[in-house]
Structures are given as C-alpha cells and as structure tokens.
C-alpha cells in the first residue's frame, strides 16, 4: 500500500529558501551597495556573507543601516577608485597569448577568462576574478575584443591577440 494512501506521506512543496541581505558593495546583476535584496540561502551563507560582500537584513541590521551607510559609501568609493586605477593602468594595452594551432589557424583548445586573468597577473601584476571577463568564443588565431568589468559600471575593452606558439 502506498504511503500517500495511508495518510502517512503528505504532499509537500519544495520552496526555494531565500534570504534578505544588505549589500555592502555593488555587485553585478545583484544590486548597489546599501540595497536590501533577496538571494538564495546558500549563495548568501556560502559566498556573500563570508566574503563580507553582504550582511543579513535582520531587524538590528536594518535599524543600523543608516549608520552603516557612511561606511558602505566609503567602501564603495574606495572600490570605485581602485577600479579606475586599474582601468587607467590597462587602457591602451593589448593582451597577447600564444597558443598551439594547426596550419589553418584553428586552436588546439580555446582561450577562456582564466587565461586572460593569468596573463594580466603575469604582465601587469593585476589580479582579477575570471567571472569579470566577458569574452566570446575564441577558437582560432586572430584579434578579439575582451570586456573587463572592474566594478559597478566601470569596465574597459582590451584587444586580445592570439598568436601561434613557435
């Protein structure tokens, strides 16, 4: 006999557990610093809160939001300054990556955001998150455009040149 027929098993609805958080910095696709947004529990508990990018929007934190806004705005201004410094450091620079390729110019692999960030770290001592790199599909030698999101609405375009490894 089925458990449901015996009244032992009740139908349950799985609902997504969302948590209200206060953003401590502006995050792409999520919101601006100081905003209260709703995100999945796991994202908040495993990433945003430990990385100090957000705090739980409980009554105490909501009540203290006005006093925290000064600190949040100072932090936001610092991040904007840092993003502008990186932008000025990289403007006009090219990224050149050597890859194995066949005679037709097709790569034996493809270039992704990780190779771009590794190159920027090696050549310019700039450490970025690969998630901030917007890059189309690169599967052959040639020139491409890379968009780097630095912070909030600060981004820049760089020329990516893929050459054949000799």
Per-residue pLDDT at 27: 86
Q: Which of 3-7, 43-47, 73-77, 111-115 has the lowest mean pLDDT?
A: 3-7
pLDDT(11) > 70: no
**Sequence-distant (≥ 6) Cβ neighbours of residue 88 within 8 angstroms:** none
Expressed in percent and rounded to 5, the helix, strand and coil fractions of the chain are 35, 35, 35
Sheet with 54-56: list strands edge to edge. Answer: 36-40, 18-23, 54-56
Q: For residue 3, count CB atoms less than 10 angstroms from its CB and return exposed for 0-12, middle for 13-18, buried for 19 or more.
A: exposed
Q: Which residues partner with 155 through β-bridges? A: 149
- Least Cα distance to 133 among 120, 119, 116 occurs for 116
**Sequence-distant (≥ 6) Cβ neighbours of residue 113 within 8 angstroms:** 130, 131, 132, 133, 135
pLDDT(32) > 60: yes
Task: Place 71 in a pLDDT band, splitting at 50, 70 and 90.
Answer: confident
User: For residue range 73-109, what is the model confidence (pLDDT) as tens digits?
Assistant: 898 899 999 999 999 999 999 999 999 999 999 999 8
Residue 103 Cα to chain centre, angstroms: 36
Per-residue pLDDT at 157: 94
E-strand ranges in 43-135 read 54-56, 94-99, 106-111, 133-134
Task: Place 3 in a pLDDT band, splitting at 50, 70 and 90.
Answer: very low
Q: Which domains does the chain have, with CATH numbers?
A: 18-63 (3.40.5.10), 88-164 (3.10.430.100)
For 116-125, what is the mean pLDDT? 92
């Amino acid at each position: 006999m089925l458990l449901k027929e015996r009244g032992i098993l009740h139908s349950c609805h799985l609902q997504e557990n969302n948590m209200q958080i206060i953003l401590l910095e502006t995050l792409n696709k999520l919101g601006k610093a100081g905003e209260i947004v709703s995100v999945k529990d796991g994202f908040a508990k495993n990433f945003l809160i430990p990385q100090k990018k957000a705090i739980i929007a409980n009554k105490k934190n909501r009540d203290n939001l006005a006093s925290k806004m000064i600190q949040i705005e100072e932090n936001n201004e610092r991040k904007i300054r840092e993003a502008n410094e990186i932008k000025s450091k990289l403007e006009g620079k090219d990224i050149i990556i050597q890859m194995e390729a066949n005679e037709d110019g097709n790569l034996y692999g493809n270039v992704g955001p990780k190779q771009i960030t590794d190159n920027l770290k090696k050549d310019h001592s700039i450490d970025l998150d690969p998630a901030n790199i917007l890059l189309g599909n690169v599967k052959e030698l040639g020139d491409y455009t890379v968009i780097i999101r630095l912070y909030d609405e600060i981004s820049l375009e760089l020329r990516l040149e893929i050459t054949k490894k000799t």
